[in-house]
Structures are given as structure tokens and as C-alpha cells.
Structure 1
Amino acid sequence: MLLDLYEILEIHLSASDGEIKKAYRKLALRYHPDKVEEHEREEAELKFKEISHAYEVLSDEAKRLDYDLYGSTDGMPGSSGAGGYSSNPFDHAYSSQDFHPDDFYNFFSNMNTGGPTPGGRGPQPLQRTEDARIDVDITLEDLYKGKTYKITSSRNIICTTCSGTGARKKAMHKECAACSGQGYTVKIKRVGPGLASKFHVTCETCDGAGKIIRPKDKCKACAGSKVVEETKILEFEVAPGSQDGESIVLNGESDQYPGKLTGDVILTVHCKPHDVFTRKGDDLYIKHRITLVEALSGFSKVIAANLDGRAIHVTTTKGQVIRPGDFLRIPKEGMPVKQASLWFSLAQKKGDLYIAIDIEFPQDNWYLEKNDLVKLLNLLPTDLADKVQANKQQVPVETLNGANIEYVTDYKIVQKSGLPHYEADEPQPEQPDYSSQEYSTECAQQ
């Protein structure tokens, strides 16, 4: 039975190159034939060969990956024979014109590495520091006129004293033993039976620098952290006409860190509900109630104060009837249309203002004298303008026997919401189409 190479070196499957080297040195010193007694030398030689073989395989990235895939160093593709050793374990397993064995191998070799690197080696591409996000509540008036937000921000910037090294000048740097000075370690992750992938992670010991410094050599300004705190005022310009949920980005204003791209500061505005106006795109909507007299005869009055403080005075045409459900459209009194420039220009475009009209009818028994009803009957039309509809509704009473007429005075006015609920009002499932030619022909043959 073959021994597991990881067990021989007494290390974990995810051990880094530095951990493998450290374990090998420790065991080699313990089992070296020259370091043991005479009667233990033969056993020590066998053990030393096992340790050396395990280190030879696991210290080589390509051989280690093959071992993780096959679980043995015997019979691996290219391990012996003509042609030498092949680092691709799929070289003999897959071959076609549409699929090259390197495609499958590179997929697993570069999994979680952020992209392929030459020879499967090398650190990850430059990472970014985390973006800073700010949420603010804003009024509809501010979105209409535009607003500048000034926010005090604290962030980390690269220490200017040590230029981000974390060490004082002329400090002695030592190679990081955990990553062997590479700044990253290679981890192995099993992704299935007999399959594994490797990926690079930043070394936690040296934080990706590949070198470590003594405590007394740390930079006094940043205490070895490589960054110092900076406080500054950031300005965000919310342009007129900006939308709810829109974000303003200040590039490169987040935390800095050596070897990383600087993230952004992102401010997102959230519009508060307004008591009068409702925004839909670049248009504004309001509701306004008028009397029945105003709906019939017209009106001239201030409807509302716009978001910039101007009074909106509307005059309707006398005699033009406003009916329930009608809207009054006022052009160019809506929200500004956001432009490239932050502030208003002479050619500023705007949406429209829509006024939803609600007509208030008079109370019951509104008249003071019966003569008022007669005056109203003389002023307003008493016949339907739609003659076709009028004829449909007309019942020829003169043809009916007087005893067949039911005189009703007992009634109640109800709203639509007060009507009974009927099953017939529920949505009905779709019925099959019996009018198709195929169905008609089949019926005709029966």
C-alpha cells in the first residue's frame, strides 16, 4: 500500500510551499542517516528516501497537481518514458479538433485565480480596495433645483514617510518563510472525485509583500501598517432633474493600500415622498378639486406652488366643460430634464405638469327655493345629446296599460365599491376554440 505523501511530510492538503519546505527540513534533520544510531541507520535511510521523494513531488507545482489528481506518482502521464514529464495530466485523456487537452487543464489550474497566468504561476491581478457607499435622503425640491452635498470623510492613504513599505529607511527586510518571498501561497481545492484545482491567495504573514521586517524597524508614522488616516471634505453635485436612486461617483476617493487600486466613494440619493407632487419620469402630477360650477363655467385661480416656489395660476376657457377623470396638462412645468451641465441653462428642457381634476358635486337639497330648480332646468340642457342612446333608453309609455306602470320612489344611491360581489365577475379560465376549421370538419364527419 502506497503511503500518502502529505502524511509522510505530516502536513495538510492545503499546505503552502513554505510549510512544505519547513516540514521537509524538520523531518530530514530527524531521519538523516548521519544523525541516528548505527542500528537505526537502515530504517532511517528508507524513511529519508520517502521524505525526499514526497518533498520532490509536493514542492513542484505541476507534479503536486498531478499527484492530487491521480493520488499516486506511478503511471502518471509523462512520468516516465520518451518525451519526458508532461505537466498536463489530461494530455492523453482528451484529444479532438474542437477540444484541446490544455483547455480542460487550464480551467482547473486557473480556477479562482482571476485568470490564467504564464505557466500557471504568479500572483493575482491587482485588486481594488473596497468602495465606500453613502446613502442620503433628499427632497423633491432639491432634485428639481439641484444641490451640493459636502461630507467630511476619513480614509486611509499610503504613508508618505515610508512610501507604503511599513518600514523605516535602511531597515533590514527578511524573506517571508510562509510564501518563500512570492507574496502569495498556492492552495489546493478538491472539486470532485479525482479532481482538484489550485488557486493563489495573498500570504497572510507578509500581507503579499513577500518580505517581513523586525518590530523595531517598523515605520514610526504608520506603526508598520503602511497607511495613515486622512480627513477631507468631499463634494457631491446632485444635478437638477436627477432621479430617485441615482448615484454620484467620486473615483479613487476610497481607502488606499500599497499594491491595490483605490476604490471609489459612491453617494446614492433617495427621494422623500412629497405632500403635493408625484413624480413620473420627468413629469409631475398633482390632484385638485373644483366645484361643479367651476367645471361648467370655468375658473381662474392659483392651483399650486411649484417646486421652485413659483405660483401656478390656471385660467380655463369659459364654457369649456371639465368632466370627471379629466387632466389639465401644463407644458414645461414638470421636472428639469437632466443635462450634462450641472446647473440650469437658457435651453433647459422640462417635463409637463398634469393636474388631475376631481369635481365636487353639491350636497342634497342644495337649492333654497323650488324656483332655483326651474332656473337650472332653463339654463342646462334637459335632453341627451346622443340621440341614438336617447332612443334606446326611451320606453313607449303610451302603449302600456296604466296598471302595468310601477311608480318607484324608494331607492338608494350606492358607490361602485358598495356593489355586491358575484362569481361571474371572477376571471374565467380560457375555453377551447370550437370555431377552428379542424373541429368543424370533425363534427361534420360524425
Structure 2
Amino acid sequence: MGVDYYNILKVNHSARDDDLKKAYKRLAMIWHPDKNPSARRDEAEAKFKRISEAYDVLSDPQKRQIYDLYGEEGLKSGKIPNSSYEASSSSSRPPHFYHQHPPNAASFRFNPRDAEDIYAEIFGSEAGGASAGHRTFRDASFRNAGGANGELRKAPAVENPLPCSLEDLCKGVKKKMRLSRNVFDASGKMRVVEEILPIEIKPGWKKGTKLTFPKKGNEEPGIIPADIIFVVEEKPHPLYKRDGNDLLVNQEITLLEALTGKTLDLTTLDGRSLMIPLTDIINPEHEIVVPNEGMPISKEPGKKGNLRLKLNVSYPSKLTAEQKSELKRVLDGVS
């Protein structure tokens, strides 16, 4: 019975030109050798050639008519029976039927078209052909896509900022990012789809941390889609500033508080109330280190950096004579 071209393209025997073209596009986008890794290249090349041959035969009225009447053997051998009543090798008809030979059947010679020429014709026509402004896919991508070693070229990665608050980076959070991208549908046509990419921010991630979604870029013929990369950016915080794994806080206190003490009440990034007693006399630009109250260390679960509290002493702008006298009395003899 020979090769069943209809089955190769997954179309029925009444398929029209549009049906054949859609089927070819869908399969060619899957099996073109340049769209497959080296390990599958031989298999892809063989299937791509069969797909191309099936389309070549079924899209050509004369080839298709001869194939329908005499099957693959009659098509390729050129041996057209002389009798008008004989058995048919095509699976598309009953065992015996009456027919007339197609016009010019006796002089017909099977001359298959090059698979790449068919590909360039089908896809190149949608890209504007090979005019100065638009090259065919064959020239623009597939023949040159892989370079000398034949490997498929990958589009450059696309980076996008991922703004995160310090609270996000301290506690961790799940985000959803909406992505619009160009993809080929089953018929081979380009369309825009929207995807939701789930992102889990891990506690302790720093500015510059990258999260990669492989091959989520736009699809293009002959090119592996780009990776989409999200790069963490830290939003400014009104109180805290990050320094590696440590958190910095600038806190102003009065001269009286510096001398007599005070309890500071800070709200941490994870929402706790942190009480810090000041019992010693505070010098200007004094720094207090609170262990294990900084940012989580992402590579060391359970560990945190430190909270570094820089205290700025605010001096009074003026004092009355009475106040000065009282200070002298109180501080007299204090070194």
C-alpha cells in the first residue's frame, strides 16, 4: 500500500489547500531539524522530510490525483497502468474501480520539491517573502540559525526588574507576574498569550538576585525562546537600611535621654515590637548592635544578621541662665 500521506499530515481525504497548509505548519514547527536538539536531529530530519513530501504531493493537484489512483508506488515509479479497469494500490479507494487516466499521466515523472524550499514558501510568505524588508524564514533563521556547528541559536535573555520591599525580603512572599508573549498555535499562526508566572521570594534574598524562567520569551522560527529573568530590586524603607545581612537604623535621642537613659520601641520588618533599653550614657554617633535581629541569611536557614542602631544625640539650641546653673550643680565633679 505504500506511504499514507494523508495519515502523515493527519488530514482526511477531502482536505483542502487550507487544511493541508495548517497541518503542515503545525507539524513543521515541531519537527524542523533546527527546532530540535542535536540528540534528536536525525529523527527530526527524517520526519520533517516525510511531512514535506506528504504536503508536496497532496498540495499538487496532478501528484495528488495520481497518488489517489495508484498510490506511492505508481506516483514514484511512473508506471501508470494502461487498462482503464484495474486494481488500485491506493488505500483511499475500493479494490476495483473504473477510472480514466489523469491528463499527461503517461509523461508524468515524480520530482519531489526540496523540504527547505517548501518551508520557506509556506512561512516566508507570511513574513513578507524575501523582499528587502523581510527575509524568508529559511534565510533569516533556519539555514543560519545554528552557526557552523548546526546547533539551534537561543535568543538573548530578557531581564525585568522585580521590586521588593524589605518586608518582602525579610519574611518571604509569593508574587504573581503577568507575562504576555508571542507563541505559535497548533495551526502555525502567531498569537499573543498571557501567562501568570508564580514567583516565590525567599527570606534573605538580596538586591540583584535573579529568578529565571527558561524559554518563556517570544517564540520565533528557528530560535530557542529567550529565558525571562526577574532581577530583585530593593525598595527604599522609611526606617531601615540594608547592609548585606545587617539592618541599619538611625535613631535620634535628646541630650537628656543620652544621659539618663531611655527604652526604644522599634517595629521589626516581620511585625514584632522590639524593645531596646538604653542604660548607659550615650555618646554622639554611638552604635548599638543587637544580634540576630537583621535580615535572614538565605544560605543559612535560621540565622540572621545584626541590627545596628546608630544613635544621634540632639543638643538643645539654647539654655536659660537658671538651667545652666542647675546643670553645673548637677554635673560638677563628673568626669
CA contact under 8 A between 1:130 and 1:254: conserved in structure 2?
Answer: no
In structure 2, stretches of 5+ residues that fail to align are 1-143
Q: Distance in 2 between matches of 1:308 and 1:375?
A: 46
Larger strand share, 1 or 2: 2
Aligned amino acid, residue 255 of structure 1: N
Q: Distance in 2 between matches of 1:133 and 1:229?
A: 20
State how 1:31-430 maps to structure 2 within 5 Å: 116=148, 124-161=150-187, 166=188, 222=189, 227-302=190-265, 304-317=266-279, 320-339=280-299, 347-366=301-320, 368=322, 372-378=326-332, 380-381=333-334
Give the drift of 1:376.
1.5
Q: TM-score, with normalisation over the residues of structure 2?
A: 0.50
Give the drift of 1:314.
0.7
CA contact under 8 A between 2:145 and 2:152: conserved in structure 1?
Answer: no
Aligned amino acid, residue 353 of structure 1: L
Q: Secondary structure at the match of 2:322?
A: coil
Q: Which residue of 1 aligns with 2:100?
A: none
Q: Distance in 1 between matches of 2:210 and 2:254?
A: 44
Moved over 4 A (4+): 112-117
Give the drift of 1:358.
0.7
Q: Distance in 1 between matches of 2:231 and 2:145?
A: 32
Give the drift of 1:257.
4.0
What RMSD over aligned residues (CA atoms) do the two structures have, in Å?
Answer: 2.8
Change (3 A) 1:277 1:367: farther
Aligned amino acid, residue 125 of structure 1: E
Change (3 A) 1:271 1:374: closer
Give the drift of 1:330.
0.6
Q: Which residue of 2 aligns with 1:442?
A: none
Q: Secondary structure at the match of 1:293?
A: helix
Q: Distance in 2 between matches of 1:157 and 1:377?
A: 79
Q: Distance in 2 between matches of 1:251 and 1:114?
A: 19
Aligned residues: 192
Q: Distance in 1 between matches of 2:323 and 2:220?
A: 87
Aligned amino acid, residue 281 of structure 2: V
Superposed CA deviations along residues 131-178 of structure 1, whole A, max 9, x for unmatched, are 3432232222212222222122232334334xxxx5xxxxxxxxxxxx
Change (3 A) 1:129 1:367: same
Give the drift of 1:288.
1.0
Superposed CA deviations along residues 207-260 of structure 1, whole A, max 9, x for unmatched, are xxxxxxxxxxxxxxx2xxxx4443321112221111123221111222334543
Aligned amino acid, residue 182 of structure 2: N
CA contact under 8 A between 2:264 and 2:275: conserved in structure 1?
Answer: yes
Aligned amino acid, residue 237 of structure 1: E
In structure 1, stretches of 5+ residues that fail to align are 1-111, 118-123, 167-221, 341-346, 383-446
Superposed CA deviations along residues 318-339 of structure 1, whole A, max 9, x for unmatched, are xx32211210101111111113
Q: Distance in 2 between matches of 1:240 and 1:254?
A: 27
CA contact under 8 A between 2:145 and 2:222: conserved in structure 1?
Answer: no
Give the drift of 1:297.
2.9
CA contact under 8 A between 1:237 and 1:248: conserved in structure 2?
Answer: no
CA contact under 8 A between 2:253 and 2:313: conserved in structure 1?
Answer: yes
Q: Secondary structure at the match of 1:368?
A: helix
Q: Distance in 1 between matches of 2:263 and 2:308?
A: 17
Change (3 A) 1:359 1:269: same
State how 1:15-26 maps to structure 2 within 5 Å: none
Q: Distance in 1 between matches of 2:216 and 2:324?
A: 78
Change (3 A) 1:371 1:236: closer
Give the drift of 1:352.
0.6
CA contact under 8 A between 2:264 and 2:278: conserved in structure 1?
Answer: no
CA contact under 8 A between 1:332 and 1:353: conserved in structure 2?
Answer: yes
Q: Secondary structure at the match of 2:178?
A: strand
CA contact under 8 A between 1:130 and 1:255: conserved in structure 2?
Answer: no
Give the drift of 1:291.
2.1
Aligned amino acid, residue 250 of structure 1: F
Superposed CA deviations along residues 166-197 of structure 1, whole A, max 9, x for unmatched, are 5xxxxxxxxxxxxxxxxxxxxxxxxxxxxxxx
Q: Secondary structure at the match of 1:294?
A: helix
Change (3 A) 1:140 1:265: same
Larger helix share, 1 or 2: 2
